[in-house]
Amino acid sequence: MKKYDVVALGELLVDFTENGMSAQMNPVFEANPGGAPCNVLSMLQKLGNKTAFIGKVGKDSFGEMLGDVVAEQGIDTKNLIKDAEVPTTLAFVQTAPDGDRSFSFYRNPGADMLLKETEVDVSLLKSTLIFHFGSLSMTAQGVEATTKMAVETARSAGALISFDPNLRPPLWDSLDTAKEKIAYGISQCQILKISDDEIAFFTGSTNVDDGVAKIQERYHTPLIFATMGKQGSRAYHSGNRVECGPFLNEDTIETTGAGDTFMACVLHGILKYGLDGLDTQKLYDMLEFANAAASIITARKGALKVMPEESDVWKFIQERRM
């Protein structure tokens, strides 16, 4: 019996999101806890799963705040390292009128880039059903080696490997390097979540089905989820292609964390049904639930602290079915 349902490794940072204008008409930014891996774990906790995080922040006020917030969500933080010399990574997120985002990062370096192999508690990796990671833990050589060690350790212990490229072009020295690291992640995982933009970047195909087919042909990934924003999502598994439309939300203010919320929900479905127990109906149900939860989070600021309860998601779905 494994102790954890999902263990994730990666970046933990502060997302400064726009929050109106000051009396002096200067833009006001709110400090929100962020970073894809902990967003995923936070939603998994809401769905009743046991999770743990492996990562590093600065030994500064932002790092202290992040550690407290992650622990408050119920995520095991015993392997959250605090670096006395390098500060916590910061991101400034600016949102267009339709909710889409642009990012500016203060991370050269940030503490999350300096996680060492010797700092990882491998007992976490050996006692989880799923190990989840993204490409941002491979933007620097040291943490890349740490990430690869973690993937190998978890797989050797029988964990399923889950990967989300989570492409952020400003954080890469070159996009060719980003593509190379994403290729590594896809080559290692049994569960891939990838956006339509990432499919186009990685495969050169703007047609989602064609891009997924290229990935399947080369990597034989058992389960692929393609997210398409306002066009909904698709799942590809054992020759089946399942599509679910979006839940467009008139209250959307930003899309930060929507993909992470979706990721958590489909991982919850895999924990519930098993990778080999997925038929087309179960895949559709997983997509519907994940799309709904992602839609809810677009109407809230700061994903990590405000993930919806499972009952909220079902209520949201029922209201839109009426």
pTM: 0.96
Cβ proximity of 45 and 72 under 8 Å: no
Dist CA 14 CA 302 (whole Å): 10
Provide the b/e sequence for 202-233 (b: ≥16 CB within 10 Å): bbebeebeebbbebeeebebbbbbbbbbeebb
Cβ proximity of 210 and 198 under 8 Å: no
Cβ proximity of 253 and 295 under 8 Å: no
The pLDDT profile of the chain, 322 residues, written as one tens digit per residue, is: 899 999 999 999 998 988 899 999 999 999 999 999 999 999 999 999 999 999 999 999 999 999 999 999 999 999 999 999 999 999 998 877 776 778 889 998 999 999 999 999 999 999 999 999 999 999 999 999 999 999 999 999 999 999 999 999 999 999 999 999 999 999 999 999 999 999 999 999 999 999 999 999 999 999 999 999 999 999 999 999 999 999 988 888 788 899 999 999 999 999 999 999 899 999 999 999 999 999 999 999 878 999 999 999 999 999 987 7
Alpha carbons within 13 A on the beta-carbon side of 240: 15
Q: Residue 189 CA to chain centroid, in angstroms?
A: 14
Give the containing element (helix H, strand E) for 186: helix 175-188
Cβ proximity of 166 and 11 under 8 Å: no
Instruction: Catalogue all structural domains in the chain, each as residue range(s) with its CATH number.
Output: 4-11+36-85+114-321 (3.40.1190.20)
Q: Closest Cα partner for 296 from 50, 14, 43, 28?
A: 43
